[in-house]
Amino acid sequence: MCHPLVLGSVEPLPILQYTPDRHDETDGHIYVDSLDKAASYDSQVIFSTRFLYYISTRHTGDACGFSGDYDEAESARRELAAFLERSLEICADLQLFVAFTDYGDSGVVPSRFDYVGPSDIRTWMTGFTPGDFFQVIREVV
Ligand SMILES: [Zn+2]
């Protein structure tokens, strides 16, 4: 798989509906799985949060599926934005790293820092480039 998306949170997030074994194949466009921080050197260096999650799209099995101008990608982005919005109600800010293929013990560090809100993902203003590190923030409406 190529460029995974890793999400960090100081609180545990409700991911049950997104886990691969509980997933309803007829709907749902993203998978969210917990990641063992202790097992990954990169995770320990990059994230200050205790809980980590690996996010991928159902149709590609990785985060590439969020990019592109087609229905599946758009649905995946919408679902990711909704998941982040719900997660932000539990945890005021989240960390999101667009990882490289060899994420784990690669020694990689983020190359760009930015803020992102759920609506930025919906409108796809940002895009995801490996090396991007985002602080995911609640948007004022
Ligand atoms: Zn891919």
102, 61 Cβ separation under 8 angstroms: no
Centre of ligand 1 from the C-alpha of residue 140, in Å:
33
CA separation for the pair 90, 98 (Å, rounded): 22
Domain ranges (residues) in the chain: 5-137
CA separation for the pair 130, 128 (Å, rounded): 7
For the chain (141 residues), the mean pLDDT of every run of 10, in chain order, is 88 89 72 92 96 93 91 94 96 94 93 94 86 92 66
pLDDT of residue 90: 94
**Does the global pTM surpass 0.85?**
yes
Centre of ligand 1 from the C-alpha of residue 66, in Å:
10
pLDDT of residue 131: 95
pLDDT of residue 22: 65
CA separation for the pair 10, 93 (Å, rounded): 9
pLDDT of residue 20: 72
Centre of ligand 1 from the C-alpha of residue 48, in Å:
26
pLDDT of residue 1: 54
pLDDT of residue 124: 86
pLDDT of residue 28: 85
